[in-house]
Structure 1
Amino acid sequence: MSAAREQVLADLRERIAALSGGTAKRVGCLSFGVPEIDAVLPGGGLAYGALHEFAGGGSGTVDGSAAALFAAGVAARTKGQIVWCLTRPDLFMPALAQAGLHPKRVVFVEGDKEEDVLASMEECLSYGGLGAVVGELVRLPMTASRRLQLAPEKTGTMAVAVRRWRRQTEANDFGQPTASTTRWRVSVLPSEDLPVPGVGRARWLLELMRSRAGECAEFEIGACDDKGRIHLSPGSGDRSNTSRRSLYSA
């Protein structure tokens, strides 16, 4: 069975289960606090108890720094401890703290293989009581994404997959269908100008590439502040229905 057909069947099964009352009860959404963004998301934000994918774009496709910072900002605004699963322990923690995610809230789980990351994510999502479970992944097969989508439905924990590739060619995998509720791409833009000389606040191009029961859109936003919040850049508008800084240490 092709991946595209499997995706269609998976969505159909979920809709049928919802009509028959067979799915777990949703526990709400995490609002961005930006009306233009929340308006295009079903429920007005990122759904808890669901899987969300973030990937870097442009020059940050491989290192995924902007995507990881965006994920950190999302995790920072949830309540409870955060589990971050990875195979390469090279995250720069002060950068996560600048995005609102305090080190004391984060438990790192390191694995030798991506299979370990997937298993750790599923176990933590099934445990419950966590704000979010983040996993850095090169590949996210349909079967694995389905497990990561189903596991948090019972606990209400948010699942976040940060797609981080080792080389540019691997990024083609991001076009393959998965069971994630939303899929985002975050690209670095020139920073905002300040009224005085200095380095302005970082800006991102935030693309909502897939939203189940919603529409695609893109926004120019200011990067996460120390509370994990973002804002719409001046002059940026919602462009619905459309399709560089390093976070990691050497």
Structure 2
Amino acid sequence: MSPAATLPTLRSRIAHLEGEGQGRDMLPFGIPDLDRRLPQGGLPLGCLHEVAGGAEGAVDGAAAACFAAGIAARLPGQVLWCVVRADLFAPGLAQAGLPPERVIHVEADDETAVLACMEEGLRHGGLSAVVAEIGRLSMTASRRLHLAAKGSGTTGIALRRWRQQAEAADFGQPTASMTRWRVSERGSVPLPVPGLGRARWRVELLRVRGGESFDLELEACDGTGHLGLPAAVADRPAAAAGRHAFG
């Protein structure tokens, strides 16, 4: 058996041993360069994921929030969004496809309360996704969240934010999340006429169960939550041909 044929088999066996992947619904990104690198061809639903911004503070933090919003936007139903700091910018989420009428906001006193709200939301079973902005995420806490998501089928996204950059080291610690993403802003391509071009992100998959890490430069989520493949790196001559909607 060739190495190319062996790799999917090994990934399937690992997923089976971990109790993940088999029979799980997936949300494909619709971008071949991205989907083919994910073990099951898409983002596994009904489990825990982590998303963080890069090194540019609030700018990259906003990109990470919009990336999470784009995922939640393509899942039908209400989204619970839990925060400690009351700085969530609703118009920004709407630009990423998640309008205010679909979002239930919870402002908690501290991160312990945020984790409790996230777990309760995941166990509820009546939500499409639960997003919680947290700094520290222990293995114990992440396991509880992951099990709650598996039990209800609701997708959980831990949006990692830190008050000080030194606290970001916690992002490298092991957790029970299925995937771990980092999103950083990149300059948009100048338009032929005066105006603002579509934002670009560097999207890094730092960890995925049964798969390998990678990074891609993509166009930011549009008003329906779709990511895009920049025309300069697409296999097609036109930008429109290189853009794909999520499933």
Instruction: Give the shorter-chain TM-score range.
Output: 0.7 to 0.9
Which of 182, 190, 193 is the aligned partner of 2:187? 190
Alignment of 1:1-250 (within 5 A): 16=17, 18=19, 26-60=23-57, 64-236=61-233
CA–CA separation in structure 2 for the residues paired with 1:85 and 1:112: 11
1:55·1:64 contact (CA, 8 Å) conserved in 2?
Answer: yes
Q: Which has the higher helix share?
A: 2
TM-score where L is the length of structure 2: 0.84
Code of the aligned partner of 1:35:
P
**Distance 1:169-1:17 versus aligned 2 partners, 3 A rule:** closer
Residues 64-95 of structure 1, C-alpha deviation per residue, up to 9 Å, x if partnerless? 11100100111101111000011111111111
SS of 1:44's equivalent in the other structure is: coil
Pairwise CA distance, 1:58: 2.6
1:24·1:153 contact (CA, 8 Å) conserved in 2?
Answer: no
Displacement over 6 Å in runs of 4+: none
Code of the aligned partner of 1:122:
E
| Structure 2: gaps spanning 5 or more residues | 1-13, 235-247
| Structure 1: gaps spanning 5 or more residues | 1-12, 238-250
CA–CA separation in structure 2 for the residues paired with 1:174 and 1:158: 20
**Distance 1:61-1:177 versus aligned 2 partners, 3 A rule:** farther
Code of the aligned partner of 1:90:
D
CA–CA separation in structure 2 for the residues paired with 1:61 and 1:181: 25
SS of 1:206's equivalent in the other structure is: strand
Code of the aligned partner of 1:126:
R
Residues 86-120 of structure 1, C-alpha deviation per residue, up to 9 Å, x if partnerless? 11111111111000001000001111011111111
**Distance 1:207-1:236 versus aligned 2 partners, 3 A rule:** farther
**Distance 1:154-1:226 versus aligned 2 partners, 3 A rule:** same
Pairwise CA distance, 1:62: 8.1
SS of 1:213's equivalent in the other structure is: coil
Residues 156-211 of structure 1, C-alpha deviation per residue, up to 9 Å, x if partnerless? 11100000111111111111111110000000001122221211111000000001
CA–CA separation in structure 1 for the residues paired with 2:57 and 2:231: 23
SS of 1:231's equivalent in the other structure is: coil
Of all paired residues, the percent bearing the same amino acid is: 57
